[in-house]
Each structure stands twice: as C-alpha cells, then as structure tokens.
C-alpha cells in the first residue's frame, strides 16, 4: 500500500514562480525523503528530513515536516524550466522498506 | 564510487513468455535492494525488497518473483507474463539503514 500521498497531482506554473508540493502519510516514520523523476528515467534523491527535524534547506529546495499532522511540503523557489519533472515523497518506517507516493507532476512554463 | 546497473532498458515480450530482469550494484557491500513497478503517470509500487542474500520480502501478491543469488545481484522473474505485467520496472538500493535510495534507469516492459 502507498504510504505517502502527494498533493496536487499536477502543478503548472510560470518560470520564476515558487512551486509547493505537499505529502501526507499514514503511519509513524523514521524519515521522509523527496525524489525527482524526469520522464522515463530513474528517480534522483533530492533531500531527506528526519522525524526529529522540522525544516531543511538545500539550494532552492526547502522541505518542512509536521509529524503531528503527518505531512511534509517541498518548496522549489525561483523555478526554472529544467525543474519540470515528477516529484515524489517517500517514507521509511520500521522495516527497511521505502514506500513512495503517487507523485506531483510539475510543469514550468517559460 | 557506487553504481547500479539495470538491464535491459526496454523489453517487448509475448503473453505467456518468461521474464528475467537483472539488477547489479557495484562499489558497496550488503546493500538493501528493491524492485518497484510504475504504471504510466503513476507512483511507484514496491514489489520486493531484500536486506540480504536469499532474503526476499514480497509486498503484493502477483505473477512475479524475486531472487538475490549474490550480495549485489537482484533478479525479478516471471514464469508466464500477463498483459497486466506491462510497466516501468525500477531497481534501487540503499546502503542499509534508513538513508537515500539510488535508482537504476529502469526497464520498460511491454507485454503483447
């Protein structure tokens, strides 16, 4: 079963705007990760936030985690056309399995 | 440095034929290994994962099986493919523990 569920399913914005994607999950987690997938390719890891962290930054990426609401958000600032991709959250809990959500398809219009 | 190899990149197979997809990891030992399937425009469905040689955990009942004959080799198999087995199959590994995963480039399987 899917642990993480992203929202929205699809997002289209203009280049230079900020993009925000959300992820909700159901059970307690050890950490939450965000990945990016270009069409027809494998996934690339973007950022990992541990359950005892609330916010993390990496370049133009900002991730927040609210364990009380079982939710996370990924913010991409100053978006570029090259950011067009699908973005997935993934959670690990207990057993060493990594479970992904359905993803958000992000389109950056030039 | 660690690398992951997954092949073939694309595969067209008739219904009822067998399947064998192979994934190997280099530059690390005792990785956790994963097989995922992704339907078009959808998320990743975890099929199998393995924390050691011969140790396979199956996530969903299906027409597929997995094996780990060597530490850094993970194989996805089927004796008889179904149309519903079509999809994009991704292999991934983690260094053990709860850290980031590294993905292969995927195999696009079309069952005809």
What is the tens place of the pLDDT at every residue in A75-108?
Answer: 999 999 999 999 999 998 766 788 898 999 999 9
Give dist(CA B48, CA B90) in Å, integer. Answer: 11
Closest-approach residue (CA) in chain B for A41: B105
**A39 in any annotated domain:** yes
Domain CATH number, residue A87: 2.60.40.10
Q: Do A63 and A73 form a contact (C-beta atoms < 8 A)?
A: yes
Closest-approach residue (CA) in chain B for A34: B100
Per-residue model confidence as pLDDT tens digits over A41-83: 899 999 999 999 999 999 999 999 999 999 999 999 999 999 9
Residues B59-76: what's their mean pLDDT? 92
**A53 in any annotated domain:** yes
Which of A46-50, A90-94, B67-71, B103-107 is predicted with the least confidence, judged by mean pLDDT? A90-94
State the total domains in chain A.
1
Cα of A79 to nearest chain B Cα, Å: 22
> Helices (DSSP H) in chain B: which residue ranges?
none
**A110 in any annotated domain:** no
Per-residue model confidence as pLDDT tens digits over B7-60: 999 999 999 999 999 999 999 999 999 999 998 888 899 999 999 999 999 987
Cα of B18 to nearest chain A Cα, Å: 24
Q: What domains appear along chain B, each with residue ranges and CATH number?
A: 3-111 (2.60.40.10)
Containing domain of residue A46, as a range? 5-104
Checking if the pLDDT of B97 tops 80, the result is no
The reported pLDDT for the residue numbered A92 is 82
Identify each DSSP E strand in B1-112 by its residue range.
3-7, 10-13, 19-26, 32-38, 44-52, 55-58, 65-70, 73-78, 87-94, 102-103, 107-111
Q: Which residues of A touch B105 (CB under 8 A)?
A: 41-42
Checking if the pLDDT of A1 tops 50, the result is no
Which of A13-22, A23-32, A45-54, B78-87 is predicted with the least confidence, judged by mean pLDDT? A23-32
CB-based burial label for B102 (10 Å; 0-12, 13-18, 19+): buried
B31 touches chain A (CB under 8 A): no
Q: Which residues of A touch B51 (CB under 8 A)?
A: 96
């Amino acid at each position: 079963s899917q642990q993480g569920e992203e929202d929205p399913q699809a997002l289209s914005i203009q280049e230079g705007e900020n993009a925000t994607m959300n992820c909700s999950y159901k059970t307690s987690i050890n950490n939450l990760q965000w990945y990016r997938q270009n069409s027809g390719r494998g996934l690339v890891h973007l950022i990992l936030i541990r359950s005892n962290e609330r916010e993390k930054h990496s370049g133009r990426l900002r991730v927040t985690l609210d364990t009380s609401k079982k939710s996370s958000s990924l913010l991409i600032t100053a978006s570029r056309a090259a950011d067009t991709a699908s973005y997935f959250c993934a959670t690990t809990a207990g057993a060493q399995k990594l479970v992904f959500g359905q993803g958000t398809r992000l389109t950056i219009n030039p | 440095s660690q690398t992951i190899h997954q092949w073939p990149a694309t595969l067209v197979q008739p219904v009822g034929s067998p399947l064998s997809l192979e994934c190997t990891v280099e530059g690390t030992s005792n990785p956790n290994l994963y097989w995922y399937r992704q339907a078009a425009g959808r998320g990743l469905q975890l099929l199998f994962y393995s924390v050691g040689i011969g140790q396979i955990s199956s996530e969903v009942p299906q027409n597929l099986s997995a094996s780990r004959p060597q530490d850094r080799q993970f194989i996805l198999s089927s004796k008889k493919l179904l149309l519903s087995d079509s999809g994009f199959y991704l292999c991934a590994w983690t260094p053990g523990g709860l850290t980031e995963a590294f993905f292969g480039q995927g195999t696009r399987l079309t069952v005809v």
